[in-house]
Homo-oligomer: A and B are copies of this chain.
Amino acid sequence: MNDRLGRLRDTTINLAHGSGGRAMRELIEDVFVMAFDNPALAALEDQAVFPLADLVRHGDRLAFTTDSYVVDPLFFPGGDIGTLAVSGTVNDLAMSGAKPLFLSCGMVIEEGLAVDILRRVAASMQRVAIEAGVSIVTGDTKVVERGCADKLFVNTAGVGVVPAGVSISARRAQAGDVVIVNGFLGDHGTAILVARQQLALQSDIESDCAPLASLVAAMLDTREDIHCMRDATRGGVATVLNEFALSSGVAIRIHEAALPIREEVKGACEILGLDPLYLANEGKLVAVVPAHAAERVLAAMHAHPAGRHAGVIGEVVAQPAGIVVLHTGFGGQRIVDMLVGEQLPRIC
């Protein structure tokens, strides 16, 4: 029994593609099922179903997360809303130590969007999903009238499994720990600024958008006790450090000279009055580990393509609890607060 309908002939999205009827089914079959190529999705049920026995092999806890993506523009140097939607949710799972397994994909599409844009986004999603070892197994499309959304919003939720013995939490930072990042900060934010032509600079900066699951797996393979880990997306490294300091009731000191920031990113920030500590990243994590574990964790990171430029940027101390302090190159200090207000809307 061939239960496939015809191939999608439309080149732009209209309201019928969100109707629940024939046009929607053609869109889903011809764009998403084709791109995401897996039996769970191809079954066209309203839910994907998997044996729990397959999950239990990976660990003892389920991790579950979601993010919506509204980035503007949809395509930018180094990525697009599809690479972002898969990397971001994979990374939110990985930051708990989980092995990411399954993603969902919910699309809100503006009437009039070119079908080719959806095909490109779906292809990007699948490419990153394969790289990250996850399958996009269930989805949904809605279409809203022209002017009621800005082209395309994507939601991905993700399910993964945390290996037994791993216990990573924003509440576990303690005096004596060190703070590690896996590479250059602020590339994603700068790439978006350049793509929006808000920056009168020629620049080769690309978004760092990437899935970090295999980097985290390499870090966990050291068997060292990673206390905290979070990806530094909206709000940047400054916000993650503040969340750790608040949740753990500790102080965090970071050293300006140790921050890996490209000259081009520094230049863009100087021109625009931005602070690279608050710029969004989409392939950067902040990890807090005991000082004695740093060497082995860093060695594992340096051996991985996404961790080649990893380094220690600071340390955890007891007081003043809840505060992040930056030690500048000139021997000064300043408090690094959480981001107040909005730096760059629709960065992800």
List A243-261 residues whose CB lies under 8 Å from chain B.
243, 246-249
Contact with B along A11-28 (1 / 0, CB 8 A): 000111011111111000
Q: How many copies does the complex hold?
A: 2
The answer to whether B60 and A48 have CB atoms under 8 Å apart is no
- Alpha-carbon separation in the docked complex, A157 to B105 (Å): 9
Indicate if the CB atoms of A47 and B63 lie closer than 8 Å.
Answer: yes
Q: How far is the CB of A70 from chain B (nearest CB, A)?
A: 5
Chain A residues packing against B (C-beta within 8 Å): 1, 3, 14-16, 18-25, 43-53, 55-56, 59-70, 72, 92-93, 95-96, 98, 102, 104-108, 137-140, 142-145, 147-150, 153, 155, 157, 159-162, 169-171, 230-231, 233-236, 239, 243, 246-249, 278, 280, 321-322, 337-343, 345-346
Pair B63/A52 contact, Cβ less than 8 Å: no
Main SS of chain A's interface residues?
mixed
Q: Are the CB atoms of B50 and A62 closer together than 8 Å?
A: yes
Rank and list the top 4 A-B pairs by shortest CB-CB distance, nearest first: A20-B234, A21-B339, A20-B235, A157-B157
Contact B68 A62 (CB under 8 A): no
- Decide if A235 touches B144 in the complex (CB within 8 Å): no
